[in-house]
């Protein structure tokens, strides 16, 4: 059973279709990249999977559990980190992890927090308020929160966007290790094609709310006559700028 | 409902209050100032009015109870605003936390914070100004319960308004209790109001509390019928307020507002 199954997802705002008939799955142990130009519908899709945006139509199941009918149980199996969703800056790292650990009903929470602090190299920031951390450190705290409950589905929206190359590489290593453990799958959005090629097992190119391409990021460019994933991305993004015939 | 998730909401507020003097001080500072101001005013009126009427229970007691209601309402709204100010909605609502658990957490927080204010007010009013509040005994409990539920209703309604209209409407929730004040007959009997205001007063649960307590303080007996009417009315309003918040939340999920909540995102 896939950890995430999205079927026929649509989201409209009045006459504007933000997401149109998007279907995909994420298997356990798999890292799936969601790529596309700005405004393509990536974050809208993620928000629907996170249960903070109701699809106009379509369904989402997390480990076979329908998100609409069993919201709390389904979301208990997920977690997320997004560059635009920093943890409250007025709580310390430890306090934030404790609050979210309780929300996700993490067993042996105290020990798990210590483990997460060590894994993310955050022990020295344990009692520091998140708001005074650098953006890179805040991202590490967000990721520690995202992995605190050992989610079956990890959702990451541009998690390395504000990081220096060394820190970004460290984050990629941690996420690859998470997927390699085989206990969960990852849905990842990024604009960094080098990173996507390095990390993702499969990518979905989304544009104007539709999935245009799907496949192995290492094979897709050649299959479409391009040298690199970035070239392919640019070509698809340009095509998507051409208005559709009415 | 998950007790652990409700505890998480309360714990977050506890950490915030514990960690900042600026959050801890207002729990009792304003009510203490109110007690001093109204306590001395009551004493002064007692000394110059030459009336058998005792102003301490009638003015200071009324202020104490009204402040309690306001503190309960603000306990809910301030806890809610902490999540607005720190843009925490996405973090909270993309988790298993349900809206019912979230509201329960805000209400529990309000119970704790308003109790601090109530205890400070009672200590000051009874020891410094001789308010015979404790002489009321168990009679005070149903009255306090009605005021508490009224405060919860106002707080949840205010939070729903801010969720619906955006953070820029924050100022609106501070004036809700003040707007109700004239109709709640805090300092004067309902009979002194013009007909149209009295008609509204009948719809305002605290008016039953202040009418009832004025009667008890004046030597009358506890009247159960108005008390029950006030209780039923406030329970109805509490249900309405929770329903309003839930509907607003559902709308925010439908429109995606929860995920991008900011002053600019709500029109």
Query: Which of A12-26, A88-102, A170-184, B183-197 is least confident?
Result: A170-184
Quick one: pLDDT at residue A243? 55
**How do residues B222-239 score in pLDDT, each as one tens digit?**
788 888 999 999 999 999
A73 touches chain B (CB under 8 A): yes
Output the domain CATH number for residue A202.
Answer: 3.40.50.300
Quick one: pLDDT at residue B161? 92
| Residues A43-64, mean pLDDT to the nearest whole number | 93
Query: What single DSSP character describes residue B138?
Result: G
Quick one: pLDDT at residue B263? 43
Is residue A6 within a helix (H) or strand (E), and if so which, with residue range?
A: strand A4-13
A102 touches chain B (CB under 8 A): yes
Under-70 pLDDT residues of chain B: 261-267
Residue A244 in this model has a pLDDT that exceeds 60: no
Q: Which distant-in-sequence residues (6+ apart) come within 8 Å of A184 by Cβ?
A: A3, A28, A29, A150, A151, A152, A153, A154, A178
Which residues on neighbouring strands pair with residue A12, listed in sequence order?
A: A17
Q: Answer positive or negative: Cα dihedral of B44, B49, B50, B51.
A: negative
Query: Which of A38-47, A111-120, A156-165 is least confident?
Result: A156-165
Question: Distance (Å) from the C-alpha of residue A81 to the closest C-alpha of chain B?
Answer: 9
ipTM of the complex: 0.89
Residue A200 in this model has a pLDDT that exceeds 50: yes
Give the number of other CB atoms < 10 A from CB of residue A192: 16
- Cross-chain Cβ contact A76/B12 below 8 Å: no
**How do residues A119-166 score in pLDDT, each as one tens digit?**
888 999 999 999 999 888 898 999 999 999 999 999 999 888 878 888
Over the range A105-132, which residues count as b (16 or more CB within 10 Å of their CB) and which as e? ebeebeebbeebbeebebeebeeebbee
Q: Tell me the pTM.
A: 0.91
Return the residue in B7, B83, B85, B94 with the most chain A beta carbons within 10 A, the one to mutate for interface testing. Answer: B94
Q: How many CB pairs under 8 A join A and B?
A: 92
Q: Is residue A129 situated within a structural domain?
A: no
Quick one: pLDDT at residue B267? 46
Question: Distance (Å) from the C-alpha of residue B19 to the closest C-alpha of chain A?
Answer: 8
Query: DSSP labels for A178-226?
Result: HHHTTS-EEEEE-S-HHHHHHH-SEEEEEETTEEEEEE-TTTHHHHTT-
| Residues A39-61, mean pLDDT to the nearest whole number | 92
Quick one: pLDDT at residue A58? 94
CB interface of A with B, residues 5-24, below 8 Å: 13
**Partner-chain residue, chosen from A52, A73, A95, that has the shortest CB–CB distance to B94:** A52
Question: Domain extents for chain B?
Answer: 3-260
Quick one: pLDDT at residue A227? 86
Question: Distance (Å) from the C-alpha of residue B98 to the closest C-alpha of chain A?
Answer: 7
- Cross-chain Cβ contact B2/A72 below 8 Å: yes
Our count of domains for chain A comes to 1
Q: How far apart are CA A54 and CA A57, in angstroms?
A: 8
Residue range(s) defining the domain that contains residue A44 = 1-77+155-161+185-246
Q: How far apart are CA B160 and CA B165, in angstroms?
A: 8
Name the pLDDT band for A204 (thresholds 50, 70, 90): very high
Quick one: pLDDT at residue A242? 53
A105 touches chain B (CB under 8 A): yes
């Amino acid at each position: 059973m896939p950890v995430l199954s999205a079927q026929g997802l649509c989201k409209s705002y009045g006459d504007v279709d933000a997401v149109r008939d998007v279907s995909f799955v994420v298997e356990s142990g798999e890292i799936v990249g969601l790529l596309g130009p700005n405004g393509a519908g990536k974050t809208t899709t993620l928000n629907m999977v996170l249960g903070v945006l109701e699809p106009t139509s379509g369904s989402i199941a997390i480990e076979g559990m329908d998100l609409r009918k069993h919201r709390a149980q389904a979301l208990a199996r997920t977690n997320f980190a997004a560059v635009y969703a920093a943890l409250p800056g007025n709580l310390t790292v430890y306090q934030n992890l404790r609050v979210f650990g309780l929300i996700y009903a993490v067993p042996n929470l105290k020990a798990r927090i210590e483990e997460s602090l060590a894994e993310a190299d955050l022990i020295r920031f344990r009692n520091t308020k998140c708001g005074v951390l650098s953006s890179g450190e805040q991202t590490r705290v967000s990721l520690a929160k995202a992995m605190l409950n050992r989610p079956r589905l990890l959702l990451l929206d541009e998690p390395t966007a504000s990081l220096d190359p060394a820190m970004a590489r460290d984050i990629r290593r941690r996420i690859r290790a998470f997927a390699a453990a085989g206990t969960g799958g990852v849905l990842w959005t990024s604009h960094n094609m080098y990173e996507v090629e390095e990390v993702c097992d499969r990518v979905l190119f989304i544009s104007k709310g539709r999935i245009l391409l799907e496949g192995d990021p290492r094979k897709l460019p050649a299959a479409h006559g391009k040298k690199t994933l970035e070239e392919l991305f640019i070509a698809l993004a340009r095509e998507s700028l051409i208005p559709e015939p009415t | 409902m998950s007790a652990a998730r409700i505890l998480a909401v309360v714990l977050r507020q506890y950490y915030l209050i514990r960690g900042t003097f600026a959050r801890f001080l207002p729990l009792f500072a304003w009510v203490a100032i109110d007690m001093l101001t109204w306590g001395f005013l009551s004493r002064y009126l007692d000394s110059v009015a030459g009336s058998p009427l005792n102003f301490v229970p009638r003015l200071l007691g009324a202020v104490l109870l009204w402040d309690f209601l306001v503190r309960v309402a603000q306990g809910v709204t301030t806890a809610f605003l902490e999540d607005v100010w720190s843009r925490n909605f996405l973090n909270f609502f993309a988790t298993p936390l349900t809206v019912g658990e979230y509201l329960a957490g805000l209400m529990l927080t309000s119970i704790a914070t308003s109790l601090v204010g109530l205890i400070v007010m009672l200590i000051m009013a009874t020891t410094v100004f001789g308010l015979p509040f404790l002489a009321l005994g168990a009679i005070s409990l149903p009255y306090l319960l009605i005021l508490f539920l009224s405060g919860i209703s106002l707080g949840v309604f205010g939070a729903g308004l801010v969720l619906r209209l955006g953070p820029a409407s924050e100022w609106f929730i501070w004036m809700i209790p003040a707007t109700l004040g004239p109709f709640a007959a805090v300092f004067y009997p309902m009979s002194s109001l013009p007909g149209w205001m009295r008609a509204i007063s009948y719809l305002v649960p605290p008016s039953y509390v202040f009418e009832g307590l004025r009667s008890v303080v004046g030597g009358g007996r506890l009247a159960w019928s108005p008390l029950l009417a006030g209780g039923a009315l406030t329970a109805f309003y509490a249900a309405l307020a929770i329903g309003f918040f839930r509907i607003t939340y559902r709308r925010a999920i439908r429109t995606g507002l929860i995920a991008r909540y900011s002053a600019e995102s709500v029109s």
